[in-house]
């Protein structure tokens, strides 16, 4: 009796093959070939051309309730202590980067750090203004922008420190900002700034950005 059940199962299998019945095939990913790699999604296409105009405005005297319009009026009237402009053209949803300046050579120490080859200079450091931005145009036409803007001490205008060229004086005017803002095309916006007061001396630095949609 113990051989009857296996024999019956074998008979059923042979009967199914004789009638042309097949086992279901294992499903494959859509668009893929049997035994081949799985298809990968297409990379996002580049969008519209975006032109960014960035003004770094240094004020010799502070102003209350600063706005982009007030800063641009001071620049037009020549009342800024220093003005630096950066322009960057990029494509929507793709990062753009610009740097004004480069590596700052290291200094050789007059004493110490002496090896078999004599005095060894310190390593070079990054210098210059840095601007990096990624934009995304919304259906409403506004532009959402992630921006990174940095001014190290090596890029501080000499007119701001006067006769004091020490590192401490330049450090007072350095800044770094990294944020996300929403802009209307063609309308300047005040995105960040700094205010410093040392004794009777007061100074402010503001960053104004204008984004326009290119052809």
Q: pLDDT of 58-85, one tens digit each?
A: 998 888 899 999 999 999 999 999 999 9
Cα–Cα distance between 85 and 4 in angstroms, integer?
A: 93
Residue 10 covered by a domain: no
Residue 83 covered by a domain: yes
- Number of domains forming the structure of the chain: 1
Residue 37 covered by a domain: no
Residue 181 covered by a domain: yes
Residue 79 covered by a domain: yes
Residue 44 covered by a domain: no
Residue 16 covered by a domain: no
Place of tokens 């601007």: 131
Q: Give 102-124 pLDDT, tens digit per residue.
A: 655 444 444 444 444 555 554 55
Question: In whole angstroms, how large is the CA radius of gyration of the chain?
Answer: 32
pLDDT-flagged residues of the chain (< 50):
4-7, 9-10, 12-18, 21-24, 26, 29, 105-116, 122
- C-beta separation of 90 from 98 below 8 A: no
Task: Give the domain range for residue 206.
Answer: 49-101+124-213
Token pair for residue 108?
């050789």
Does this model's pTM top 0.85? My answer is no
Residue 36 sits at φ, ψ, to 5 deg, of -100, 175
């Amino acid at each position: 009796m113990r051989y009857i059940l296996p024999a019956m199962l074998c008979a059923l299998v042979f009967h199914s093959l004789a009638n042309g019945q097949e086992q279901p095939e294992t499903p494959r990913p859509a668009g893929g070939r049997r035994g081949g790699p799985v298809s990968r999604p297409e990379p996002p296409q580049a969008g519209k051309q975006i032109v960014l105009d960035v003004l770094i405005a240094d004020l010799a005297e502070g102003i209350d309730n600063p706005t982009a319009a007030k800063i641009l009026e001071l620049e037009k009237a020549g009342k800024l202590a220093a003005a630096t402009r950066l322009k960057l053209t990029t494509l929507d949803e793709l990062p753009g980067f610009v740097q004004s300046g480069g590596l700052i050579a290291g200094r050789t120490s007059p004493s110490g750090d002496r090896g078999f080859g004599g005095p060894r200079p310190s390593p070079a450091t990054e210098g210059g203004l840095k601007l990096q931005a990624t934009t995304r145009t919304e259906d409403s036409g506004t532009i959402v922008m992630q921006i990174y803007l940095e001014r190290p001490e090596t890029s501080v205008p000499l007119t701001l420190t006067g006769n004091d060229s020490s590192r401490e004086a330049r450090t007072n005017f350095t800044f770094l900002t990294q944020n996300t803002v929403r802009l209307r095309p063609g309308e300047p916006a005040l995105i960040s700034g700094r205010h410093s007061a040392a004794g009777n001396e007061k100074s402010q630095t503001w960053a104004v950005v204008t984004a326009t949609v290119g052809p």
